[in-house]
Amino acid sequence: MENKPEKKWYALYTKPRWEKKIDAALIRKGIESWCPLQKVERQWSDRKKVIEDPLFKSYVFVRISETERRHVLMTDGVLNFVHYLGKPAVIKEDEVNNIKMYLAEKDARITIISDEGFREGEKIRVNFGVFMDKEGTVMRGNRKKVYVQLQSLGQVMVVEFPAEYLSPL
């Protein structure tokens, strides 16, 4: 009996606003794909409408084996895998399940922090991406990009995040 290759979760960078299209294309290819969506009310000049908006802008998650990576990258709109330490970053299965469970709750909402920026030395939590739920200290930042010091593997890393990925502690 042949061993099936182990499948792991990875995050993909996508072209802006291509998340749903890429998710559908990957599913059509037989690849396990997930684009987390949340219901958001949008105001148009003549009406309000509730739409499903991607939770993570320019991200789609895939659960694949090593051999399927090239097939995923050949999908129109996929830019690359999210990398960590030079390799495609593996997302823990329980992190994916936690997000899925949260989004299944009635009125689940993840809100974006105010855009006044973060102060140097402020303690923060990362809310999205590979470093989700990690805590760190702001080294420097503004409204768009924040440099955060994270303790990990006994090493200090300074990582640049979009401000909307972070929340104060």
Contact predicate 11/82, CB 8 Å: yes
Q: Which two tokens stand for residue 126?
A: 């990362």
Q: What is the CATH number that goes with domain 123-168?
A: 2.30.30.30
**Does the pLDDT value for residue 103 go beyond 90?**
no
Q: Is 168 left (phi over 0), alpha (psi -120 to 50) or beta?
A: beta
Q: What is the pLDDT at residue 155?
A: 59
Q: CA dihedral in degrees (124, 16, 29, 12; nearest 10)?
A: -30
Q: What is the pLDDT at residue 109?
A: 62
Q: What is the pLDDT at residue 113?
A: 43
Q: State the average pLDDT over residues 104-115.
A: 58
Q: Which two tokens stand for residue 1?
A: 């009996």
Distance, in Å, from the CA atom of 115 to the CA atom of 88, rounded to the nearest integer, reads: 30
Which residues, in sequence order, are bridge partners of residue 8?
A: 64
Q: Where does the chain hold its CATH 3.30.70.940 domain(s)? A: 8-104
**Does the pLDDT value for residue 162 go beyond 70?**
yes
Q: Where does the chain hold its CATH 2.30.30.30 domain(s)? A: 123-168
CATH architecture of 8-104: 2-Layer Sandwich (3.30)
Global pTM reads: 0.64
Spacing of C-alpha 81 from chain mean position: 11
